[in-house]
Amino acid sequence: MKIERINLYQVSLPMKEGAYAWANQSFAAFDSTIVEIKTDEGVTGVGEICPLGPAYLPAYAEGARTGIVTMAPGLIGKDPTNIGAINLLMDQLLKGHPYVKSAIDVACYDILGKVAGRPVCDLLGGRVQDEVRLFKVVSRADPEAMAERITAYQEQGFNQFQMKVGENADVDIVRIHKVVDKLWEGNRLGADANCGWRQHDAVRVASAVADLSFYLEQPCETYEECRVVREHARQPMILDECMDSLQMVLRGHRERAMDAINLKISRMGGLTKSRVIRDVCASLGIIMTIEDTWCGEIGDAAIAHLAHATPRDLHFQSSTFHEYHTHAIAEGGPVIKDGFMSVSDRPGLGVTPDWDLLGAPIASVGAE
């Protein structure tokens, strides 16, 4: 089997609630890129990459599309089911920029699953969870509005949450108190600053909420700053944005810098490299949130398959981003029920893009 053509599609993902806000950023919609890989045997695969705006991580939508088009000519004629070789080749064609490679890697898994007649989770170690625990994001807003939202989300059946902070330390202290006050007994909450606090403010927040029960996530931009905050905080620490490689995960474990990590598939470069991180964390006993920067049903399917193949006691939680959008970009995405999600046993990712919605490719690379 050989890759015959790589098509790119662009789609905007508007927010149901009007905007999604965290730290000092807010967006009404996100720019997502869909990759379609066509083969000479008629089997196709799809993947998705959707950076959370251009200033969250060293990743942006136009960069993803430019990078994919840059690599695509070198991938034409290669076997997409030989995923290890595809990853080695991508690293030769484009140094760094792992997010650019993620959607191609996922699309190759979609093809391999279809060829093997197995869902992608079976290719990632096998389905060991029938359903995947979700967390619901309480987007940054006024403290009272955030308290009202978490109450509504709990009534919808969710029992794990991530509230967005990091904009203003003094207001964030109020936000955390008010949201924790509305948390039902037995439910779990994380306060995610998304790198938004300076170290001194993060230490001040940690002191002001020392008596409250929640998880503190990525308070500052750098690993070193977060390590200092951990020494002052009484809450368990989740590291996210600075956990960008296997080396950083091993360093964090060695230095006891965190209790959990947030494993984002595109930040690692796709499912192939995320599986390595997942397996190392499992061996070390590090619990994981498994998700991505943002996505629709296609990216959510990739998240769900990796999470389904992760033991429950090591899987902390995951996201389904498509539930925040006004429209679906594919059929067959994860099904959400009572705070959990699950994907079907259909081969590959199990999703069928809405080609009418996606329209014509914005770029197409193939053999002449």
Cα–Cα separations (whole angstroms), residue 236 to 6, 169, 191:
43, 19, 11
Catalytically active residues, by annotation: 164, 264
pLDDT value at position 241?
97
- Residue in this structure with the two tokens 């089911």, named with its chain if needed: 81
- Answer whether residue 228 shows pLDDT above 80: yes
Average pLDDT, integer, range 58-76: 98
- Answer whether residue 274 shows pLDDT above 90: yes
Q: Which stretches of the chain are DSSP H helices?
A: 61-75, 83-93, 98-116, 120-123, 143-155, 169-181, 199-208, 223-232, 246-254, 265-268, 271-284, 297-308, 355-358
Residue 56's pLDDT band, with cuts at 50, 70 and 90, is very high
pLDDT value at position 220?
98
pLDDT value at position 248?
98
CB contact set of 54 (below 8 Å; sequence gap of 6+):
60, 61
Amino acid at position 78, single letter: K
Average pLDDT, integer, range 145-155: 96
Partners of residue 336 on adjacent β-strands: 341
pLDDT over 90 for what percent of the chain?
99
| Whole-number Å distance between alpha carbons of 278 and 281 | 5
- Answer whether residue 33 shows pLDDT above 90: yes
- Answer whether residue 368 shows pLDDT above 90: no
Residue 186's pLDDT band, with cuts at 50, 70 and 90, is very high
pLDDT value at position 147?
98
pLDDT value at position 317?
97
Average pLDDT, integer, range 86-100: 98
Average pLDDT, integer, range 16-42: 96
Q: What is the pTM of this model?
A: 0.96
Q: What are 94-149's pLDDT values in tens digits?
A: 999 999 999 999 999 999 999 999 999 999 999 999 999 999 999 999 999 999 99
Residue 41 buriedness (CB in 10 A; 0-12 / 13-18 / 19+): exposed
Average pLDDT, integer, range 230-259: 97
Q: What are 164-177's pLDDT values in tens digits?
A: 999 999 999 999 99
pLDDT value at position 367?
78
Closest Cα partner for 210 from 167, 183, 180, 168?
A: 180
- Residue in this structure with the two tokens 């039902």, named with its chain if needed: 184
Amino acid at position 94, single letter: L
Mean of all residue pLDDT scores within the chain:
97
Average pLDDT, integer, range 226-239: 97
3-state secondary structure of 322: helix
- Answer whether residue 45 shows pLDDT above 90: yes
pLDDT over 70 for what percent of the chain?
100
Average pLDDT, integer, range 277-290: 98
